[in-house]
Structure 1
């Protein structure tokens, strides 16, 4: 039996080179119509709409603060994928930092609201908290300062969590945020 070769970007690129302008526009239109994810990607890439972060925030919100009365499940991986998808679409540092801080705020709010006790969820929260701190501190502008202040609120709100979450956040905050802020 003959094995099929692994398909790659090079194969697609070769096919795209045969398209004219109208063909490429048609292809992009088909991709746009194919899924909400494709639409969000294209809106973010081209800066279309009032809030290009809104679809990504919606996914994060649904995944880290699910409706427990509707038996919705938590999905850290889908929430993180939303941030990754934004990074691929446009990846502006301010937008990435905003999404990471939003993730931390919503995850912390969910834990406080429902009394969540899950070490895997908490570990993911602490990892995202560190990434958010790194991103916010790197901005070094008013937006960055505002994000750091929001992360400080997340840290304070996590004070009653178990599994060392509060201790980890305190250590990370002290490591990334200078005392003279």
Structure 2
């Protein structure tokens, strides 16, 4: 049996045919079952608490690199999934850039602590750094993040696979040579 893919138009049609009570019941059920739905509505109802959701995301990232016990596994897929989920909820460019840079900072610290990692690790860090810098498009954001991005670039100096060169190039593209 071939499973059909539900698209947005089909979903909208389904929702139009539901009563308000049925819609409330559906949303309440999703709220109970899915953490991402809880986080979404939390930010919608209490936008001032977005930092709390960012902190949870940073905790997932931090635990992958430097857990409270044992050695970090550096499962990049787990850390990047946390960022991806946060990105869906986030309403603030500053908060999203902060989380993305935190990922790179943890990666730089990890490789500085434990030594050279494989090329895919560095490619992931470079990609996230470039994404964060790509989101820094206005002068206010540049003022907020310039020094932090510079520190990441400097902390990566001498690390493997041309990593520091890639970060320097991305930094200079965004902020200019300095």
TM-score, structure 1 length as denominator? Answer: 0.81
Distance 1:68 1:117, change over 3 A: farther
**Structure 1 residue 149 displacement after superposition:** 1.0
Distance 1:50 1:8, change over 3 A: closer
Q: Deviations over 1:68-114 (max 9, x none)?
A: 95465322223223222233224432222112111111111122222
Identify which of 131, 145, 148 aligns with 1:150: 148
Secondary structure at the aligned position of 2:49 is classed as: coil
Q: Tell me if the contact between 1:42 and 1:89 (Cα under 8 Å) persists in the aligned partners.
A: no
Answer yes or no: is 1:10 the counterpart of 2:1: no
Q: Tell me if the contact between 1:56 and 1:86 (Cα under 8 Å) persists in the aligned partners.
A: yes
Q: Tell me if the contact between 1:60 and 1:82 (Cα under 8 Å) persists in the aligned partners.
A: yes
The residue that corresponds to 1:34 in the other structure is 33
Number of corresponding residues: 176
The runs of 5 or more residues in structure 2 that have no matched partner are none
Answer yes or no: is 1:49 the counterpart of 2:49: yes
Q: Tell me if the contact between 2:122 and 2:163 (Cα under 8 Å) persists in the aligned partners.
A: yes
Distance 1:89 1:116, change over 3 A: same
Secondary structure at the aligned position of 1:43 is classed as: helix
Distance 1:81 1:25, change over 3 A: same
Distance 1:72 1:32, change over 3 A: farther
**Structure 1 residue 116 displacement after superposition:** 4.2
TM-score, structure 2 length as denominator? Answer: 0.82
The runs of 5 or more residues in structure 1 that have no matched partner are none
What are the residue-to-residue correspondences of 1:4-153 with 2, within 5 Å?
4-46=3-45, 47=47, 49=49, 51=51, 52-63=53-64, 65-67=65-67, 70=70, 73-136=73-136, 138-141=137-140, 143-153=141-151
Aligned residues: CA RMSD: 2.5
